[in-house]
Each structure stands twice: as structure tokens, then as C-alpha cells.
Structure 1
Amino acid sequence: MPESDCLFCKIREGAIPAKIVYQDEHCLAFEDINPQAPTHVLFIPRKHIPTVNDLTEEDRALVGSLYLGAAKVARERGHGDSGYRVVMNTQRDAGQTVFHIHLHLLAGRPLHWPPG
């Protein structure tokens, strides 16, 4: 999918509104429009990368920034001690519906394992 058709690229560019909760030079985070937990935030890289399979060595710091941002938002929202989940789905069978990698931060309720 070209960047011009990517929902998350459109959010990144401000063409589609989103409730932004965090950003740095590598990533942008916003509230999920279909939350699966009281806290459900999506962290996307500013660079368009369709799936985890498309990551390269040069993306190492970028992916790390997604996790650092998620930990910061989780702590700010009071979930640092109680717990939270971060997950990145890859391809359709794993539940990926937008093909721009994104890290889900889920918290605010007990999260069971396995997830489903």
C-alpha cells in the first residue's frame, strides 16, 4: 500500500484527526478509536513501514522509540506498577488491519493470557 493510501500516514500528516497523546522525532501516539481497554494507545513510527517483516537494521532506534514512548505514557497514566501490555501484530492472521507498523499499549483492566 502506498503511503498516500495509508490511514496512519494520513493521521501523521494531520489529514485525519486523532487524539495525539505523545510524540517525539521518531514516533507519534494517539488514542485507538476502538479501544480494547481503558487505556489503548497506538504508537506509530513517523516512517512508513508496512509490517515487522519490512524492518531493517537502520530501524532499530525507531522501534526502540515506540517502546520507550509506550512505557512513558503507561507510567504517566499510572500503569507502571499495576501493569500494561504492549503488542505489535504482523500480517492479517495476527490481527494487523492497518499496514503501517504500530505498537498497541493496553492497560487499565486485567489482561488475560493467552490473549485470544
Structure 2
Amino acid sequence: MDANWQPVQGSNPGAAVAVGDWRAQVHPETRSRIAGRILEALKKLIPVSEPFGLYELQKIAVRFEHKIYAAAINQSDYLRKISLKLLSMETKAQQAPGNAQLNPNQNNPQLRMT
């Protein structure tokens, strides 16, 4: 391959990007909303009370979204991976000891009706 090779500039330079790279079609607002959803899921898993803790969770959410965005092979793959991870996080949040719904008669056999 020639070291001086450069892509040919046609009459529509954005056309190659739009066809070849799905990332060019994802709006920054969409990515921001997705990072916000990740943040909400993280807050359910890791409750924080101080502004610094919330800032750290925001950074984690943005990095996580970016990692999936960079690794996805297309927009469908990106959305599928995000959805699966959010579902997994919500399931973990519901199973966390502090969020468990305890039936009053569940652990006390003396209170059970027979």
C-alpha cells in the first residue's frame, strides 16, 4: 500500500461516512440520554449521598456508554448491548438486600397459617 494514499474526495464527502460508519448517524443527545439511563440504574445499585459520589457515577456511566458504543458493530448491536446491561443492572438492584420485598410470614414459621 502506498504511504501517501488518501481517500478520494467526491462531491459528497459525508456519504461514505454515513454509509460506512453507523456511529455518524447516532445523535449526541441520544448517547447522552442513554448515559443518563445508565446513571439511574447505577444509582439504584450504588446509592450515593454526596455530590462527589454522584459525579463519579456520572463518569462511570459515560465511560460505560462509550465503551459499548466503540465496541458495537452496528447501531442495533449497540442498542441491544445497552438494553441487556440495563436489564441486568435493574435485576441486580431488585435483588439487592436493601430492596428485597419481605413477606412478614416468610421467615417466621410461627406466624404461618396452617
Higher share of residues assigned helix: 2
Structure with more relative contact order (C-alpha pairs < 8 Å, separation 6 or more): 1
Instruction: Please tell me whether Structure 1 or Structure 2 has the larger radius of gyration of its CA atoms.
Output: 2
Higher share of residues assigned strand: 1
Give TM-score scaled by structure 2 length: 0.29
Give TM-score scaled by structure 1 length: 0.29
